[in-house]
């Protein structure tokens, strides 16, 4: 096994956290995978993987090697594909991380079409709704909604999504339909949403006609920390929510939820794709970014 093949084996083992899973994915005997890692460790003069009975994970040296060889392998794959008869064909594993509602509402229903066009592409779709280190976890790209903190990641902005104010018919029958955010402090409730970073309940936000942004505290009887519970509590009549329109459009169409205060929405939220480094934008990553951008276009503000 040459050095490039050893690198490919090492990346697969490190990303999957298992010699057996990597061997199955690569369609190689487990002994061949173990031998490739041992040979690579001898050649580089360092231990690259921590091995326990439960998991396999990169050492500090292994993590450093991963960061260097991922873009190298991506470049080699792109060069190989230059000479394929079908220039549009892409192959290999792409690991992405997206918000769970985007995974469920947008990506999963449309994914069969992408995989029909690229049958040799394998998508590892993560949607844990938590902050992750793309490099440490071997993620090729991530979709993020909201303002981004400064980092070394490459940011590919897609646009902004509209946020709307919603309530259930049951809630509106009991509390009436507010017409202005000033009414929310008197006889109204919001479903609280806890920030995933600080754990604090986020304020109710809205924009005025002149474009200025305002925030106020609306009382809540329940506070949640994920979108599924947020929407479910709203549907149960527990309070008002602010939510991306794509998340609840089907519920609006079915009259299960009702938009309120359409003239006082929160500011639209930016949507971005992030990836670790420009050299890592392989053909399969470029295909996914182009596909996802087209998928999101209908839900972005003009």
Query: pLDDT by residue for the chain (302 residues), tens digit each?
Result: 788 789 888 988 887 788 888 888 777 898 999 999 999 999 989 999 988 877 888 899 989 988 888 777 777 766 665 555 455 567 788 889 999 889 998 999 999 999 999 998 899 999 876 777 776 677 889 999 888 875 678 889 999 998 999 999 999 999 999 999 999 988 999 999 998 777 889 999 999 888 899 999 999 999 998 888 999 999 999 999 999 998 999 999 999 999 999 999 999 999 999 987 654 567 888 899 999 999 998 888 75
Q: Could you tell me the fold of the domain covering 85-158+269-302?
A: D-Maltodextrin-Binding Protein; domain 2 (3.40.190)
Q: At residue 218, what are phi and psi to the nearest 5 degrees?
A: -105, 130
Instruction: Please state the pTM of the whole predicted model.
Output: 0.68
d(CA 9, CA 36): 7
For residue range 145-184, list pLDDT tens digits in order.
Answer: 888 875 678 889 999 998 999 999 999 999 999 999 999 9
Any idea which residue has 């956290």 for tokens? 17
CATH 1.10.10.10 range(s) for the chain read 1-83
Burial of 65 per CB tally in 10 Å (0-12, 13-18, 19+): buried
Which among 163, 166, 164 has a CA at the least distance from the CA of 234?
A: 166
CA distances from 76 to 71, 80, 123 (A): 9, 6, 20
d(CA 149, CA 153): 10
Euclidean distance between the first and final Cα of the chain, in Å? 53
CATH 3.40.190.10 range(s) for the chain read 85-158+269-302, 163-267
Q: Could you tell me the fold of the domain covering 1-83?
A: Arc Repressor Mutant, subunit A (1.10.10)
Count the helix, strand and coil residues of the chain and give each as a percent rounded to the nearest 5: 40, 25, 35
For residue range 108-135, list pLDDT tens digits in order.
Answer: 999 999 999 999 889 999 987 677 777 6
Options 3.30.499.10, 3.40.50.2300, 3.40.50.11810, 3.40.190.10; CATH for 163-267 is 3.40.190.10
């Amino acid at each position: 096994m040459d050095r490039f093949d050893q690198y490919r084996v090492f990346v697969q083992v490190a990303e999957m956290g298992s010699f057996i899973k990597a061997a199955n994915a690569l369609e190689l005997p487990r002994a061949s995978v173990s031998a490739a890692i041992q040979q690579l460790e001898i050649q580089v003069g360092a231990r690259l993987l921590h091995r326990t009975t439960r998991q396999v994970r990169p050492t500090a040296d292994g993590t450093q090697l991963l960061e260097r060889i991922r873009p190298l392998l991506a470049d080699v794959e792109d060069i190989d594909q230059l000479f394929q008869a079908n220039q549009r064909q892409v192959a290999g594993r792409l690991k992405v991380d997206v918000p769970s509602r985007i995974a469920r509402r947008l990506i999963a229903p449309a994914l069969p079409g992408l995989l029909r066009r690229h049958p040799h592409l394998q998508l590892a779709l993560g949607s844990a709704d938590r902050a992750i280190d793309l490099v440490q976890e071997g993620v090729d790209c991530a979709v993020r909604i909201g303002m981004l903190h400064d980092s070394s990641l490459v940011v590919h902005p897609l646009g902004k999504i509209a946020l709307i104010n919603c309530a259930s018919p049951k809630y509106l029958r009991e509390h009436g339909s507010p017409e202005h955010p000033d009414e929310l402090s008197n006889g109204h409730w919001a479903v609280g949403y806890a920030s995933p970073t600080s754990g604090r309940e986020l304020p109710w936000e809205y924009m005025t006609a002149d474009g200025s942004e305002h925030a106020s505290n609306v009382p809540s009887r329940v506070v949640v920390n994920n979108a599924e519970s947020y929407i479910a509590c709203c549907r149960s009549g527990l309070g008002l929510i602010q939510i991306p329109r794509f998340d609840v459009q089907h519920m609006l169409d079915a009259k299960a939820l009702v938009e309120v205060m359409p003239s006082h929405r929160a500011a639209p939220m930016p949507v971005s794709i992030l990836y670790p480094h420009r050299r890592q934008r392989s053909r399969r990553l470029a295909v996914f970014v182009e596909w996802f951008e087209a998928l999101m276009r209908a839900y972005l503000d003009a």
